[in-house]
Structure 1
Amino acid sequence: MIDLKTFFNSLSPTSTESLEKFSLLFTPKILKKGDYFITDGQIAKEIGFLESGIIRAFYRNNEAIEYNKHFFINPCFIGGYASLITGTPNQIIQQALTECKIQVAKFADIQNLYETSPDIERCARVLAEQFFVQKEQREIEIVLLDADKRYEIFQKAFPQLEQEIPQYHIASYLGITPTQLSRIRKKRSGK
């Protein structure tokens, strides 16, 4: 498990003083399995650092069908990023699939550090750039790759998740039905 200070400092070198100010903004919180970090329609105010557990990010259409967009595992930040930046209602729901230990801070408090700690702002920029690249790669996968290849990429990105979460969540993330996932898994196990 990688802690908050180690992860943030790995993004870009950060002074001990800035890192201390940054980490003091966070307080520990436990999400039980099924709890939400943020829901749709909510205006995001907080950002979290996932220390342990699994969180899924998903959206729900007008017919109440859910589509998994991403899985979060340590080390990573969670939160309604678009809502935090724009102040508009969140659309991507984040729910704990297992018990999760997180560190939570008010996003405005972090932004206030930028003036006096440019190294914190630089780390935040690097993190935003990483999110952008991840999002673009995911969009390309969904559009250009077949389900078998997307499953292979999922297995490399999240090797431990198949044993820890229901298969229908994985199928939703891959953009296929659970039956299709079962066929892919059966075909791959026969190799």
Structure 2
Amino acid sequence: MESLREVMLEKAGLTAEHYAQLTKVGKVVYLPKKEFLIQAGTTCSFIGFVEEGLLRSFIYKEGEEVNLDFYLSGSFASAYTSFLTQTPANGTIQALADAKVFLISYADYQNLLRSSDSWYRFGKYVSDTLFIRKCKRETSLLMNSARERYELLLQSYPNIEQLVPQYHIASYLGIKPESLSRMKSLTYIKA
């Protein structure tokens, strides 16, 4: 779990002792492709960190799946509003490829926060990371064209086209798969 260790020490400003503390209370789960980390209607009782693999979050809208986000290795994954409020989640998180995810439970997270103020740095880092991702996505949906959203996706998630089926990418962009194909073909013609 070197990625999580790196995040804690280099980005959240914690120590190796904090990392050891976290790994004592957390657990690793292995999700086969297509298995759910959480389903809509259940309460999210964890913050996850994707060590390996790929996840997606989605909601159902008018009977269709709408992708909200992708979680690649090195990403935090949670139905965070549900986690914070301990109310049922609106969305579902599913593995798009076999995944290894480190989970810390709501109760253990709260205990760590109570144990030392330095854990709030970790909590702030997680919260800030998830909040910024959400804001970028919302702003992009409201302000950018489909092409601009696509370019931002490629910038934010390098190699995503090799990892995620086109119909999932189209759903994330808020367009139909054939529109994505047309947009990509026009991009290649110009290049």
Unmatched 5+ stretches in structure 1 = none
Instruction: Output the TM-score relative to the length of structure 2.
Output: 0.94
Offset, 1:21:
0.8
Q: Distance in 2 between matches of 1:9 and 1:91?
A: 32
| Larger deviation, residues 124-133 vs 70-79 | 124-133
Kindly indicate whether residue 31 of structure 2 is the aligned counterpart of residue 31 of structure 1: yes
State the 1:20 CA deviation.
1.4
Q: Which residue of 2 aligns with 1:69?
A: 68
Q: What CA distance in whole angstroms lies between the structure 2 residues aligned with 1:47 and 1:114?
A: 14
Bigger Cα displacement from structure 2, 94-103 vs 131-140: 131-140
Give the percent of matched residue pairs that are identical in Structure 1 and Structure 2. Answer: 33
The answer for the alignment partner of 1:50 in structure 2 is 50
Q: Partner of 1:136 in structure 2? A: 135
Q: Is the 8 A contact 2:76 2:130 kept in 1?
A: no
Q: Is 1:122 the equivalent of 2:130?
A: no
Contact 1:2 1:75 (C-alpha < 8 Å) held by counterparts: no
Deviation at 1:59?
A: 0.4
Superposition CA RMSD, Å: 1.4
2:166: which partner in 1?
Answer: 167
* Cα deviations by residue, 1:98-149 (Å, 9 ceiling, x for unpaired): 0001112212101111122222221111221222122111111111110111
Q: Could you tell me whether the CA contact under 8 Å between 1:43 and 1:84 is conserved in 2?
A: yes
Extract structure 1 runs of 4+ deviating beyond 6 A: none
Distance 1:83 1:11 in 2: 25
TM-score under structure 1 normalisation? 0.94
Paired residue for 2:20? 20
SS at match of 1:159: coil
1:34-89 residue CA offsets vs partner (Å, 9 max, x unmatched): 0000000001112221011110011012x321110000001112122111111110
Corresponding residue SS for 1:52? strand
* Aligned counterparts of 1:102 and 1:17: Cα–Cα separation in 2: 21
Change (3 A) 1:148 1:31: same
